[in-house]
Structure 1
Amino acid sequence: MAKSEMFNPPHPGFVLREYMGNIDVTAMARHLHISRITLSRILNGASGISAEMSLRLGDALGTHPSFWYDMQASFDMWQARQKKRPRIERLNAAA
């Protein structure tokens, strides 16, 4: 695990919920020009935050888009590392 990699990072949707404060889901979805269902899926951890959504959130919340995108990537990487996968030997390209 890389030094900068968090142990079991939260889904970025849970962090977004905190950033929203008292703004309700319907109002935030409308502001982002997305459906309430799409936003609810993100907030509940059922969907990830795409590059496009990262840009929208950056515009709406005054954060850098990479904040959301990198948080999603960290979450996805941690989740992937928890799954069993085949052992892959290093490729010797100098042959």
Structure 2
Amino acid sequence: MIKRKPTSPGEILFEEFLLPLEITQKELAAHIGCDYKVINRLVNEKTRITPDMALKLAFSFETTPDFWLNAQIAVDLWKSSKKHYKTSSLIRKHRRRNKLKVN
């Protein structure tokens, strides 16, 4: 299990792109054609990144949609593993049976 929470796409957006490039959330929203609240919710980890938003950010910052979506997936898996950590020991592991016959 991953101990440390992965960096969220919103934190990456804010720390690695908006701050260094001196772009406000409102400026980015206007540039990519979305509501300021969407960017604000993303930066504040109140919403997940969507494939549409990943495409818009990729075009804007010369990254790839996969960059943004993989960051989201890492956070989602971390949250899920934290949620299911205690019950995971109760789940029986499926074991493959050896079906090779020896003559």
- The question of a shared fold, defined as TM-score above 0.5 by the shorter chain, is answered with yes
Quick one: which amino acid aligns to residue 89 of structure 1? R
Match of 2:62 in 1: 62
8 Å CA contact 1:29, 1:39 repeated in 2: yes
Secondary structure of 1:77's aligned partner: helix
Q: Deviations over 1:1-52 (max 9, x none)?
A: 4xxx683112210110021121111110011111001110000011111111
Alignment of 1:8-87 (within 5 A): 8-18=5-15, 19-21=17-19, 22-84=22-84, 86=87, 87=90
Count of residue correspondences: 91
Q: Could you report, residue by residue, the CA deviation over 1:33-79 in whole angstroms, capped at 9, with x for unpaired residues?
A: 11001110000011111111111100000001100000000011001
4+ runs deviating over 6 angstroms: none
Per the normalisation by structure 2, the TM-score is 0.76
CA distance in 2, matches of 1:89, 1:57: 41
Larger Rg: 2
Q: CA RMSD in A?
A: 2.0
Which one has a larger percent helix, Structure 1 or Structure 2?
2
Unaligned runs of 5+ in 2: 98-103
* Aligned twin of 1:89: 92
Report sequence identity in percent. Answer: 26
Q: Give the superposition deviation at 1:90.
A: 3.8
CA change 1:23–1:6 in 2 (3 A) is farther
Deviation at 1:91, TM superposition (A): 4.9
